[in-house]
Structure 1
């Protein structure tokens, strides 16, 4: 991750879809493309769902079992939506931070290829034969 990071209030704003200042655009790209980007995306989705889930558990005047079932159902549906649209959502975040459309896919592809080449080089340097 780049040196500049958002403060907690900025991160919360970012988690809910808000834009960050231009000096954090490198951080946004690293956040949406670096190793662990999927986990970070799912954490942001959970942060977005949290207030609704808490309200679902506290407000309705129905038995606790029904409220828990509704909250779990909301979590499952929200999680499915977050997974289904994660590449589009992270792309939108990067574009909002000033990166050209397609940058996240390109950077992720370059990272995966670099890691593949490094794995192959480590394998070959170990003296073992190649299966390619």
Structure 2
């Protein structure tokens, strides 16, 4: 029996909670962390599950706006720090799975190289 290249449902839940997947799934992990939609998946995995917990503030006695304001006081900084730490999180997960941490910003380096080449062509340097 060959090893799986994609995680089972239980492995995927464990992965979302920070567990390491087997080496046979390295390509799946790389695609998950750096492929198309990686940013969206990262934000959804962190920002969506906390909403039901924060919704408990709506059960507090008082006007609705007060519960919403308490939710916002916690949720807005969470959004900010989640976005700010995305690169750090990606590098950490890549290292944890034995992959090159430079993959975390490979797309940005490719865009930068393309921009530089276009600039040099425009100004007669290439």
Q: Normalized against structure 2, the TM-score is what?
A: 0.68
Q: CA RMSD in A?
A: 3.0
Higher RCO (CA 8 Å, separation ≥ 6 residues): 1
Residue 36 of structure 1 corresponds to 37
**Superposed CA offset, 1:57-98 (max 9, x none):** 45x555543222222332211111111011111111111111
Contact 1:25 1:97 in 2 (8 A): yes
Contact 1:15 1:48 in 2 (8 A): no
Residue 108 of structure 1 corresponds to 107
Contact 1:57 1:67 in 2 (8 A): yes
How many residue pairs get aligned? The number is 116
Residue 70 of structure 1 corresponds to 70
**Superposed CA offset, 1:29-59 (max 9, x none):** 111111222111111112452453244445x
Contact 2:34 2:103 in 1 (8 A): no
Residue 93 of structure 2 corresponds to 93
Gaps of 5+ in 2: none
Residue 25 of structure 2 corresponds to 24
Distance 2:38 2:99 in 1: 17
Q: Are residue 6 (structure 1) and residue 10 (structure 2) matched?
A: no
The alignment partner of 1:76 has SS state of helix
Contact 1:49 1:78 in 2 (8 A): no
Distance 1:4 1:51 in 2: 33
Q: Give the superposition deviation at 1:113.
A: 7.0
Gaps of 5+ in 1: 121-129
Distance 2:52 2:17 in 1: 11
